[in-house]
Structure 1
């Protein structure tokens, strides 16, 4: 079964997360969070990316700078201890949506929805790295798509490796990936073939997630970069604080490339405020 080894057991965010998951992982009517689940009723992007919609056959109206954003993410264990007393297999799914809820001129559509199913293995570990303990390492495969067609279609498949480090009030997750290659399209608008062959230039091949707990405050940071001269990447910062029960006030700031698949090659800034129901990445 999942377990952890701690650098500071009295104040370990990772320990709290694992204990909460183990307490409910096998209950039939409980869904275990994977990434953060949140609803941001109001987000502001000063420069919405209209280009994909201008190229479509639909009647075009400018996108609103203010829209709603939400994420639903869960996982469930398929098997524990596949290799002796270690090696745990999980399935996970994450849905991230952008909703032009205030844009009545175009009937308040969902501008973009990204779907990401994953299958991954996770292993307990106890390597000491400075003041941190590498509590978990693992690998997996993920598919990410926006479910759109024609010129708005975006998707990619990745094999990835991950490590999670516990430093008491700080937890750090690292993730590296390799994109599975796809065939080139024979012509523009070909429904088969690679929808976004240059996505690696903007999304890179690694990211770092960190969370810091200060009393009941939670601060997180995501960093991503392509490690090339073009220096494409992204940073996302969040802050949350409990308000009632499991509900937390949640704020998010994003700056960079790849916030969503439709905008993977466009530099975006976004600030949003709303609520979340879990506080770790």
Structure 2
């Protein structure tokens, strides 16, 4: 029912709108006058559209050739690209990687040359998915952890999360949708114990498609819709196994500076039902609010089940050391489901550290 609701809502929201892909498709068909008007509408907010508009002015495609207008839109396009990368500290790393590549001897075979470039520069399309953080201080001030292999867990530990995605395709249906696969790993490390064991690690691979709706008419609250299939487990066997498979639908909404994500899920049946009551604690969805204010970002996630077993999580981040890719990160959690091994234990904790994505 939840996915049916998402499909109906998607069909209502995705009305016709001009996009870069639409304009570029018309341009490739040789309809220059029509595509020229389309690119003019997009150019102020789209650096790619501004560049093509400049090219059309320069070469008189769909309009009278105008060198001044071409120069104007080339400048707007380049300024747009510069703003996108102005505070990207990884540019310096990329420069050094390119230096390594340029120091290599050139080869006559183009495909071999491409392989060398990919190898030397590590050109991969991984992006941040959920927050990537390292919290050296994670303090549980109420609740109990499950014992792990006979080890008793201390109140203070180290927590970190790695979350990446890879976009594999786009616009197959002509709806500007993006198809992605993602992987998130959250680990709880008893760093301050004598044996420094990992109390719990949760693994969450998923595949999803996102339909952006931001190009729709003004006043729309829903900015994107995402449909996903996912698995989550702690990788253990026997009595300590915790795992589930689920389908989800997510809706991103915006009202001025307030963003919200409504995510609904339904559990899929599996052969080994290790924890049949897990859904009673994990619930059937969450609502997440995000408030950016200048350089500050606060998000609050609320989860509630029909059995009065919910959770609240608040995260705060702020750029550290004047950088735009490293953030002070503070986390507060109260409720059930912080980790799979303790999904039915109510935990209250505070954590602080750093993140490299928001």
The two structures, once aligned, show a CA RMSD in angstroms of 2.6
Corresponding residue of 1:186: none
After TM superposition, what 4+ stretches of structure 1 lie above 6 angstroms from structure 2?
A: 127-131
SS in 2 for 1:103: coil
Separation (CA, whole Å) in 1 of partners of 2:193 and 2:294? 39
Worse-matched range after superposition: 91-100 or 161-170: 161-170
Separation (CA, whole Å) in 2 of partners of 1:235 and 1:181? 27
Give the alignment partner of residue 123 of structure 1, picking from 197, 207, 211: 211
1:196 aligns with 2:284: no
Separation (CA, whole Å) in 2 of partners of 1:87 and 1:243? 34
Gap runs ≥5 in structure 2 = 1-18, 22-44, 46-83, 91-121
Corresponding residue of 1:134: 222
Give the alignment partner of residue 352 of structure 2, picking from 262, 270, 273: 273
Separation (CA, whole Å) in 1 of partners of 2:257 and 2:193? 41
SS in 1 for 2:269: coil
CA contact (8 A) 1:52 1:262 kept: no
Aligned residues: 243
Separation (CA, whole Å) in 2 of partners of 1:109 and 1:266? 20
Corresponding residue of 1:232: 309
CA contact (8 A) 2:142 2:349 kept: no
CA distance 1:79–1:200, shift in 2 (3 Å): same
Corresponding residue of 1:33: 128
Q: TM-score, normalised by structure 2?
A: 0.63
Gap runs ≥5 in structure 1 = 4-8, 10-18, 184-192
SS in 2 for 1:98: strand
Separation (CA, whole Å) in 2 of partners of 1:144 and 1:250? 24
CA distance 1:71–1:236, shift in 2 (3 Å): same
Map 1:58-207; keep pairs closer than 5 Å.
Answer: 58=149, 60-104=150-194, 107-126=195-214, 133-183=221-271, 193-207=272-286
Separation (CA, whole Å) in 2 of partners of 1:155 and 1:142? 11
Point out the structure with the larger strand share: 1
